[in-house]
Structure 1
């Protein structure tokens, strides 16, 4: 098969992967705490190109360099930049200003998120939907009422008494966290409890997805995909013509 077909086909697959990722970003533009993703592309295999020089009976080889036939989308890269904070005045809405994650007890496993759209379950514990209970420094946070105060360091006060402090976790590098679902992450190492977090009550962190940027990315990938498709059709026509003419030779 022509090298060009390998290159064009891999390019189409890569552009389709980019479109899928960008479409997912757009679908989660209103998901609290969602962090946008980008495709990470890389070369798949390479060929060593050499030039053979002939001078009489003497032959030498000159290395020209390497070329890759295929480029693939190897992984997704999550962009953990701060999203805009919206004032909701919700009794159980929280946002983290700066780095860090809320901890959610999901069936005994702690998962991490920037989504602070919490509520109380029927037992009075602070929860994130059906994901699990929000973690404090003493475990699952029990409030039991909407009449409470929260300080910027995450301290929860009921009738003037500190009952717990929202645990805010962070990592030395975000390479150790893996996406579990939209806005939820798991970690391969022990998270570090932040000493001086900044927690805003009655606010929600919106996604860091910029619609204009994502639309430009989609259109660019679609254009590249269409160009590659047209080029493949041209290759197919050229190869068909070549095969026909070679077959007609006597």
Structure 2
């Protein structure tokens, strides 16, 4: 009976974690280049329940069946699906149609992103909305004029003169470690992008979050949470009767 409390509590904790992941996806539905995350549960090992015979019965044990011991969120997977391209007509907005990532310089070192919503600072240096410099093969990109252009291969031209080449990298999806809304890092060695980058200037890659799908999942998760909550309440009520009624000495 006590095991039932732990099983129900484990289910509630798993549902809470899932709801937090869904809420994070919904909160970033307008973040350019954001990739939705999905969680999967793993069941704890089952217990084999057996009934031991009493003195008046034939000796031996009778198998009753298995009893689940709850679930836990096993892993969180990033859905590496291309988001829809949105036209902005801003020269500082860049979208990737490949699986490459931009490289930016942060106070904590180099980080990687799919968010191409860049801007020019007062000195004409290309940077992110948070003020992190965007890196090219020669380092921070700039100074640039407002009329600079970027071709599909990442070459940056200003006034018809080649200024720099966007630095792009490739990192397996399972090796990306998320930091904040749209920055990533990796514990593995990072390789330069080898394929066609497919850069589109004047476009942004939208978030790949499916709002309708996330709402359906949220409803399912909340119902699972409520079901496990009901299990705990039932177990608590049963324990109350066992202690205060059945075990009462008259």
The TM-score bracket by the shorter chain reads 0.7 to 0.9
Task: Decide whether the 8 Å contact of 1:35 with 1:78 is kept in 2.
Answer: yes
Cα offset, 1:63, TM superposition: 9.4
Please give the TM-score of this superposition, normalised by the length of structure 2: 0.88
> Could you say what secondary structure the match of 1:248 adopts?
coil
1:1-250 → structure 2 map (5 Å cutoff): 2-44=2-44, 46=45, 48-49=47-48, 68-107=68-107, 109-171=109-171, 173-195=172-194, 196-249=196-249
What is the alpha-carbon distance in structure 2 between the residues aligned to residue 215 and residue 108 of structure 1?
35
**Alignment coverage as a number of residue pairs:** 245
Q: Unaligned regions of 5+ residues in structure 2, if any?
A: 54-58
Cα offset, 1:53, TM superposition: 9.1
> Could you say what secondary structure the match of 2:127 adopts?
strand
Q: Unaligned regions of 5+ residues in structure 1, if any?
A: none
> Could you say what secondary structure the match of 2:42 adopts?
strand
Task: Decide whether the 8 Å contact of 2:10 with 2:72 is kept in 1.
Answer: yes
What is the alpha-carbon distance in structure 1 between the residues aligned to residue 10 and residue 51 of structure 2?
30
Q: Does the C-alpha gap of structure 1 residues 60 and 198 become closer, same or farther in structure 2, counting only changes over 3 Å? A: farther
Task: Decide whether the 8 Å contact of 1:143 with 1:158 is kept in 2.
Answer: no
What is the alpha-carbon distance in structure 1 between the residues aligned to residue 248 and residue 68 of structure 2?
35
> Could you say what secondary structure the match of 1:73 adopts?
strand
Cα offset, 1:107, TM superposition: 2.8
Cα offset, 1:246, TM superposition: 2.8
